[in-house]
Amino acid sequence: MLGITESKGFLDLLIFYKGKVVGLEIKTEKTQTSSKGVASPEQKEWIKVLNASGIPAFVTYGFDEAKEILDKNFGNSCRVGTR
């Protein structure tokens, strides 16, 4: 069995906060419409596996969309933002 770091396509972030977990694959807003901004088959499979395991996982495009997903899953108490 391969570890996460040895497995192709694992998501960019796996975030743990106050007993909850969310997985994020972050694509840049600039590449959203190009092939570079599309989740690979391996990334899609990881998202499917995590979701089936009860861990919400998403592909996001840019900071604002990632923040919106984190706020929805962790509530505004997570205080995701920039300084």
Percent above pLDDT 90 for the chain: 37
DSSP 9: T
Choice between 23 and 18, residue whose per-residue pLDDT is larger? 23
CB atoms within 10 A of CB 9: 14
Phi, psi of 25 (to 5 degrees): -110, 120
pLDDT of residue 33: 56
> What's the rounded Cα separation, in Å, for the pair 47 and 52?
8
pLDDT of residue 55: 95
What is the mean predicted confidence (pLDDT) over 20-48? 82
What is the mean predicted confidence (pLDDT) over 3-13? 76
Model confidence at 59: pLDDT above 90: yes
What is the mean predicted confidence (pLDDT) over 2-9? 66
Across the chain, mean pLDDT equals 81
Closest CA to 64 of 56, 55, 72: 72
